[in-house]
Amino acid sequence: MSIVVPVYQGERTLRALIDEILPLTSRTYSPSGRPLVVEEVLLVFDHGPDGSADVIRELVSDHSFVRGVWLSRNFGQHPATLAGMASSGGEWIVTMDEDGQHDPADIGGLLDTALDRQSSVVYAKPTNAAPHGLWRNAASRGSKWLIATAMGADSTVSYQSYRLVLGEVGRSVAAYAGSEAYLDVALGWIAGEVTTSPVELREEHGRRSGYNVRTLLSHFWRMVLSSGTKGLRLVSFIGVAFAILGLVLVLWVLASYLLFDVGTEVQGWASTMVILLFGFGATLFSLGVVAEYVGVNVKTAMGKPPYLIVADPADGPLGRTATRPEPPEHTTPT
């Protein structure tokens, strides 16, 4: 197995995570008695604001199974995960967070589920509420429900960053996924059987989540755009709905004029303005959705990479910070 950990704020949590993984680097057994060995742990440095880079270097020096994967800049969790997948060599790839929520001891259960159900992708399915705030949990459930109902995703599978992926599937996705692709949607394009396995989430170890409202909304919107042309179909649905509404209003106005005595006074300015505002709002929303799809295709056509792996900056030209010593001052002999 290869374990891929995207690292953004792991200065205080990575050492404990590696200590928990360490027993799995020798031959161990899953709950059903299947042998497994973690051959490598890939720590993908995503240019976070703390001292994660130095911790990664120390762990690489201390453990032969730990490898550092260095990105040229901050790309985000999903691109960093793809970079780790592309660099892996295991028959299976496990992806997990850096913050201690995911217990490495559950990996054996994920493997049993994959082999019992012949699944190429297994997501961890939390048996308890995520250790986040009420609003974030509600937003997460709401977004997943919206994807499942409006976008046609599988409602029985809950996307999680703790997942087990068949190695050849994960590396193939990392090779062709575009810069705007949502990782789990891209996995669904080629994975065979996708299922879940129960796990219990733990509290984050002494740090707050790196996600805020803006990044969560961006995460959700990328999921929508990656799920195919269903967003464009929604635009068509809005157009048809407003066309039908307009026809109904026209028929109502004609019926009022022909069948009822409405007098000569001009009425209805407020309702007219409301209709115009709703109509223009729907039009602008539809144009915005279309523009997002055009933007995704433009970035893909221009060759924007989802990630770029580089050497450890400390070992290359950026690490050569020492300056040439000043020559000694010449003194006149006396």
Are residues 105 and 76 both part of a single domain? yes
Domain extent, residue 242, equals 230-301
Rounded-to-integer distance, Cα 132 and Cα 168, Å: 33
Are residues 114 and 259 both part of a single domain? no
In a domain, 23, yes or no: yes
- Per DSSP, the chain holds a count of helices (H) and strands (E) of 10, 10
In a domain, 241, yes or no: yes
Are residues 151 and 236 both part of a single domain? no
Are residues 205 and 243 both part of a single domain? no
Are residues 147 and 200 both part of a single domain? yes
Q: Partners of 199 in the beta sheet?
A: 126
Predicted local distance difference test score (pLDDT) of residue 213 = 57
How does pLDDT run across 182-205, given as a tens digit for each residue?
A: 788 888 888 888 999 999 988 876
Q: Partners of 95 in the beta sheet?
A: 4, 163
Rounded-to-integer distance, Cα 242 and Cα 91, Å: 52
In a domain, 310, yes or no: no
Are residues 164 and 253 both part of a single domain? no
In a domain, 60, yes or no: yes
Predicted local distance difference test score (pLDDT) of residue 150 = 47
User: Helix-strand-coil percent breakdown of the chain, rounded to 5?
Assistant: 50, 15, 35
Contact between 1 and 38 (Cβ < 8 Å): yes
**Amino acid identity, position 214:** R
How does pLDDT run across 123-171, given as a tens digit for each residue?
A: 999 988 765 555 555 555 555 555 545 445 555 567 789 999 999 999 9
Contact between 289 and 235 (Cβ < 8 Å): yes
Are residues 53 and 192 both part of a single domain? yes
List C-alpha distances in Å: 46 to 50, 139, 188, 321: 11, 25, 25, 22
Are residues 173 and 81 both part of a single domain? yes
Are residues 241 and 196 both part of a single domain? no
Q: Tokens 């048996």 belong to which residue?
A: 127
In a domain, 316, yes or no: no
In a domain, 273, yes or no: yes
In a domain, 196, yes or no: yes
**By three-state DSSP, how is residue 193 classified?**
coil
Q: How far is CA 155 from the centre of its chain?
A: 18
Q: List, for the chain, all residue ranges whose pLDDT scores fall below the cut of 50.
A: 148, 150-151
Contact between 202 and 131 (Cβ < 8 Å): yes
Q: Partners of 92 in the beta sheet?
A: 166
CATH number for the domain harbouring residue 154:
3.90.550.10
Are residues 146 and 191 both part of a single domain? yes
Q: Which of 177, 210, 243 is the last residue of a domain?
A: 210
- Strand arrangement, sheet containing 194-199: 194-199, 121-126, 163-166, 92-95, 2-7, 40-45, 66-71, 309-310
Predicted local distance difference test score (pLDDT) of residue 74 = 93
Are residues 112 and 175 both part of a single domain? yes
Tokens of 312: 């450890």
- Count of domains for the chain: 2
In a domain, 168, yes or no: yes
Are residues 178 and 297 both part of a single domain? no
